[in-house]
Structure 1
């Protein structure tokens, strides 16, 4: 059964089919994209999605879209079938477009697949992080939440993640939960803890997802994990707000183990203009 992360990445393309034009690089402009039933009439195998790309009213390309989280030797047999099946069904150029968050899986997926003893090869088109725009502002993220989430997956840093979470949390509950879970699953451990802690903060104005997760009974972790998460949350907020953190300030933040003080600093980090104000007594 596909994981929630797999489903989340498929959902991005389902809700924003235009993401498939990333497969075309600089020549992507001018295409209209629609999704079709992924059941191929000549095959028992089904890709995650099928996208049809039209230009000037004519069908130009049929793509089997595959989200790949790990290596799977079976795909080396089914991917060529997807392409030939689509080519026969739609009578146009066809290929397989792979979205793989893991660098190792991307390397594996783009390796040409031998088809016969005569030298024929099949080459999947694998999306590279460099081909996905870095979303720089919350406004841009809200304008295209699916691209923002894909950007956060391809560039798994705190600043990209927080912008994507802000954009996703405005969507309907089902989509928001799926997108945010996908973002969190793509982050390194410390940054994931920081973002989760930030969303659980009472001052976090985009906390609906965190509240739903708490209602489902998800644990927050041990005390030391909570402190680590609070430290990272403070530094994440300051970074997002472009407040310079001195070496002395960073040391002071990381040395603190008082939960109430750390919570106070999280709230203050959302409001201050310079780092010295973080430590001022109320």
Structure 2
């Protein structure tokens, strides 16, 4: 499972973002961070994994890693919360990376999520085998 690989080697998350999506995020280290956002919000919000990229002085970027076997309509509400809360916790930008089993699920999960504010759209980055 890609998620387990990221948990074992967090550096894979930024490598995938750079290799597949061309996102070059500078960092010196990639470490796992807590998946729970309960301390920041009364509701229990838990993603599959988070990776925090560090530069010499502070966190430089956070990556939320999700594994989706099928499209889940509820994720259009939880994914933006994950990104906002990770950004809040570490005071840095956040990217959502979603592992999918096939192109159909990846395409569905990659649909832009309109946040209702002008130009504020979350575009999940999806990868699948093949």
Bin for the TM-score computed over the shorter chain: 0.7 to 0.9
Bigger radius of gyration among the two: 1
- Divergent runs of 4+, >2 A: 24-31, 55-58, 117-120
Distance, in Å, in 1 between the alignment partners of 2:26 and 2:88 is 26
State which of 34, 39, 55 in structure 2 corresponds to 1:37.
Answer: 34
Q: State the distance in 2 between where 1:32 and 1:57 align.
A: 11
Q: Of residues 16, 24, 29 in structure 1, which corresponds to 2:18?
A: 24
The structure with more helix, counted as a fraction of residues: 1
How far does residue 90 in structure 1 lie from its aligned partner after superposition?
0.7
1:78 aligns with 2:78: yes
Aligned-pair CA distance for 1:49: 0.5
Aligned residues: 123
Deviation, structure 1 residue 52: 0.3
> Aligned-pair distance for 1:58?
3.2
Whether contact under 8 Å (2:27, 2:53) holds in the other structure is no
Higher strand share: 2
Question: Which runs of structure 2 are paired with 1:136-155 in the superposition (5 Å)?
Answer: 154-155=129-130
1:259-278 to 2 correspondences below 5 Å: none
Larger RCO (CA under 8 A, 6+ residues apart)? 2
1:50-199 pair list within 5 angstroms: 50-116=50-116, 118-127=118-127, 154-155=129-130
TM-score (norm 1): 0.40
C-alpha separation in 2, matches of 1:10 and 1:23: 14
Question: Which consecutive unaligned segments of at least 5 residues does structure 1 have?
Answer: 1-7, 130-153, 156-282
TM-score (ref. length: structure 2): 0.82
